[in-house]
Amino acid sequence: MTSTKVIPRPESRTRHDPGQPLLAVDEPPPYSVINPDGASPYLLLCEHASNRIPRALGDLGLPEAELRRHIAWDIGVSALSQHLSRTLDAPLFMANYSRLVIDCNRPLGVPSAIPEVSETTEIPGNRALTAAERQQRIDTLFTPFAATVARRLDGLQKAGKRPVVVGIHSFTPVYSGRQRPWHAGILYGRAVEFGQTLIRGLQADAALAIGDNEPYTIHPDEDYTVPVHADDRGLPGALIEVRHDLIDTLAGVGEWGERLTRCLAGALKEFGE
Ligand SMILES: [Zn+2]
């Protein structure tokens, strides 16, 4: 296990005056859209692609080693989701900042949206934030990402299309000391048939243990992408979770990229899209 010791830092290192911009002009925008004109009905989201912290927030009071762990991002998913965007010809919406700053897959206002503790690590730079500090993270990072996805879905639905929303995630093999048995998991809410189709597709390989709403479940209090972008619109949607040690190399990304491409392409056929 990686150390979860907190190294105290002077408050000034992690506090930022919300009257000043959170992002400097030379920093990446809050999100990127890859393959925006992709023709696939799939709309891919990668909310946990990056462990980047806006410079104004320093290191959130965390040692470098913590910022490289899964608490800051989903290891491997940036490369995996870009692979899928290419092979499926699907647009991909990717957040460019760490979920430790604000989680783009959490409803606003829940404690885990801007976590003071992640797994067992305290996040000093998230402690006792003022309303203005929270609002700035929402306005700068969360809302632009959520709004651009919503606008795209509005446009597609108005044009009579039926997009399929899929979030690409990874999970740690060991969480709070517990080993997890799955290679991957499919998480879904109301789109039970779509979720089950993806699970059957992955279970075609008998060597794989595939979680059915494991290692997490979708809940409107803990999730944003599936409840808001898919379920509330009556669209099929799911999150795909891959164990991160399976996709932390280029070979692993290639293998899972091809496997998930077959699974997702097969699911569209089954749904007659
Ligand atoms: Zn994730």
Which residue is listed with tokens 């299309």?
Answer: 161
252 domain-assigned = yes
> From the CA of 11, how far away is ligand 1's center (Å)?
28
**Which tens digits make up the pLDDT trace of 240-253?**
999 999 999 999 99
13 domain-assigned = no
1 domain-assigned = no
> From the CA of 243, how far away is ligand 1's center (Å)?
11
> From the CA of 202, how far away is ligand 1's center (Å)?
19
Whether the ω angle into residue 215 lies within 30 degrees of 0, i.e. cis, is yes
Tokens of 63: 């040692």
> From the CA of 19, how far away is ligand 1's center (Å)?
30
**Which CATH number characterizes residue 155's domain?**
3.40.630.40
> From the CA of 168, how far away is ligand 1's center (Å)?
7
Rounded to a whole number of angstroms, the distance between the first and last alpha carbons of the chain is 44
Low-confidence ranges of the chain (pLDDT < 50): 1-2, 9-12
> From the CA of 187, how far away is ligand 1's center (Å)?
11
Alpha-carbon gap, residue 173 to 205, rounded angstroms: 20
**Which tens digits make up the pLDDT trace of 151-160?**
999 999 999 9
Which residues have CB atoms below 5 A from the ion given as ligand 1? 48, 74, 169
pLDDT of residue 4: 56
80 domain-assigned = yes
Number of domains, the chain: 1
pLDDT of residue 152: 98
For residues 165 and 235, is the Cβ–Cβ distance under 8 A? yes
17 domain-assigned = no
